[in-house]
Amino acid sequence: MLALAMVASLAACSSSSSSSSDTTAAETEAATTAAEDGSEEATEAADETEAADSTASDGELITVGFAQVGHESDWRTASTQSCQDVFCEENGYELVFVDCDQDSAAQLDAVRNFIEQDVDYIIIDPIVSTGWDTVLTECEEAGIPVIVIDRTIDDSDNYTAWVGSDFTAEGYAAGEWLNAYAEAKGIEISGILVIEGTTGSSTQLGRTEGFEEIAENYGWTILDSQDGDFTEAGGQEVMESYCQSYSGQFNVVVCQNDNEAFGAMTAMDAAGISYGVDGDVILISFDACTAGLEYVQAGSINADFECNPLAAPFVAEIIEALEAGEEVESTVYMTEHWYVAEEDVLTTITVNGEEQELTYVTDEIIEEQY
C-alpha cells in the first residue's frame, strides 16, 4: 500500500510541480517587465508573483525538517540515506536535513530553526533521551507535528508518533544468546567487557539494561562498561585500555554497535588476542549492517543483533495518513533479526519465555542488507 501511495504521490508531483513552476516563471517575467516600465501594474504584478511563489512552496511539496544524530556509524549512514531517498522531491517532499554531529545543543537549535522555517513536519532522532520537554512544547505551539525515530524521548510524550527499535529487547536477546551459546560450546564465562554507546541515548540505556539484567540472572561478572560513543575510534580506544587493564581476565566482549566492534577488533589484533568463532574471546555486536554481517560470516563476530535503520518509509506512511486527516499508530516497532556465525550450534533462543529464531548469515542476506 505504501509503495502504491508513493507511486501516486510521485505521479501527482511531477505533473503539478512542472505546471506551477511554469506559472511562476511567467508571472515573474510579467512583474519584472512591469517594474522596468515603472507602471502602476508593477506593484500588482509583483504581489501576484509573491502569492504564486508561496502557493508553489506551500502547496506542492511537503517540507520535512530532519534533525539527525550525526554520522557516527554505518547504521547512521543507512538511516540518513533512507530518509534522503524517501523524502525527495520526486516523492513530493522537500527535506531540510541537519547532521547534528552528536551535539545535543545543536540538535535543539536545529529543531528551533525548523520551527522558524515553518516546516510542515519535524523528524527527530534524539541524541539523548532527556531535555526535550520545552522544545516539543514549542513545536506543538507552532502546530508542527513531530515524529520521533530510532531513539526514544523519555521526558515528554508531546509528539505524534515514534518509529524505532526495542533496545532493551536487543540487550535481552544478546544475553540469552550468550548463555545458550556458552552452554552449547561448554565455555565458562570468565569476565565480560562492555563497550557502550553514547551515554544517555535510549539505545545505550536499553541495551545496557537488557544485557545487565541477564548477566545478573546468570551471575556473570561484568568487569567494566565504558562509553565508546558508537564510533570505531571510540571502540578501539576503550578496547585498547581494556586490553591493558584486564589482560587474561575476560573472554566476552560486547560492543553496542558494529563500528565499536570494528575498533575493538583492531585493538585486540594489536594486543594479540583472538576473538570470534574458535577465538579466545566471544565477540557480540549490535546493528548488523553490511560490514558487520561480513565479519559475522567470516567468523570474527560471533553474533550480531540487528537494529533496523530503515524507518523512513514508515514515517512517510504516517505523514501521508496525517495529510489525509487519518488516525496514525503512535508506536511502530521495526522488524529485526538476530544473526549468528555458526549454523550448527543454535537455531533458536528463549527470551522472556518466547522462542526467537537465529539467522545464519549467507551471501544473499549480506547482499540485501543496508
**Are the beta carbons of 5 and 320 closer than 8 angstroms?**
yes
Pick out residues in 64-103 that bind ligand AHR (CB under 6 A).
72-73, 75-76
> By C-beta, is 93 or 132 nearer to ligand AHR?
132
Cα 130 to Cα 153: distance, rounded to the nearest angstrom = 6
Cα 370 to Cα 340: distance, rounded to the nearest angstrom = 17
**Are the beta carbons of 304 and 339 closer than 8 angstroms?**
yes
Q: How far is the CB of 334 from ligand AHR (least distance, A)?
A: 11
x-or-dash string of contact with ligand AHR, 104-143, rule CB under 6 A: ----------------------------------------
Q: How far is the CB of 301 from ligand AHR (least distance, A)?
A: 14
| One of 27, 120, 232, 287 touching ligand AHR (CB under 6 A) | 287
230 counts as binding ligand AHR under rule CB under 6 A: yes
Query: Bridge-partner residues for 93, per DSSP?
Result: 62
Q: How far is the CB of 186 from ligand AHR (least distance, A)?
A: 31
Q: How far is the CB of 278 from ligand AHR (least distance, A)?
A: 27
Q: How far is the CB of 12 from ligand AHR (least distance, A)?
A: 34
Cα 365 to Cα 78: distance, rounded to the nearest angstrom = 16
Number of residues that bind ligand AHR (CB under 6 A): 12
> By C-beta, is 140 or 166 nearer to ligand AHR?
166
H/E run at residue 138? helix 133-141
Closest of 161, 75, 89 to residue 124, by C-alpha? 161
Q: How far is the CB of 254 from ligand AHR (least distance, A)?
A: 13
229 counts as binding ligand AHR under rule CB under 6 A: no
Task: Give the pairing type, strands 252-255 and 282-287.
Answer: parallel
> By C-beta, is 73 or 179 nearer to ligand AHR?
73
Query: Bridge-partner residues for 30, per DSSP?
Result: none
Closest of 153, 127, 285, 152 to residue 211, by C-alpha? 285
Q: How far is the CB of 36 from ligand AHR (least distance, A)?
A: 55
In sequence order, which ranges of 246-343 are alpha helices (DSSP H)? 258-271, 290-297, 312-323
- φ/ψ of 299, rounded to 5, equals 85, 10
Pick out residues in 292-311 that bind ligand AHR (CB under 6 A).
307
Pick out residues in 195-214 that bind ligand AHR (CB under 6 A).
203
> By C-beta, is 155 or 280 nearer to ligand AHR?
155
x-or-dash string of contact with ligand AHR, 247-266, rule CB under 6 A: ----------x---------
- φ/ψ of 38, rounded to 5, equals 70, 15
> By C-beta, is 77 or 156 nearer to ligand AHR?
77
151 counts as binding ligand AHR under rule CB under 6 A: yes
Q: How far is the CB of 19 from ligand AHR (least distance, A)?
A: 42
Q: Which residues of 98-134 are buried (b: 16+ CB within 10 A; e: fewer)?
A: bbbebebeebbebbbebbeeebbbbbbbbbbbebbee
Contact footprint for ligand AHR (CB under 6 A):
72-73, 75-76, 150-151, 203, 230, 257, 286-287, 307
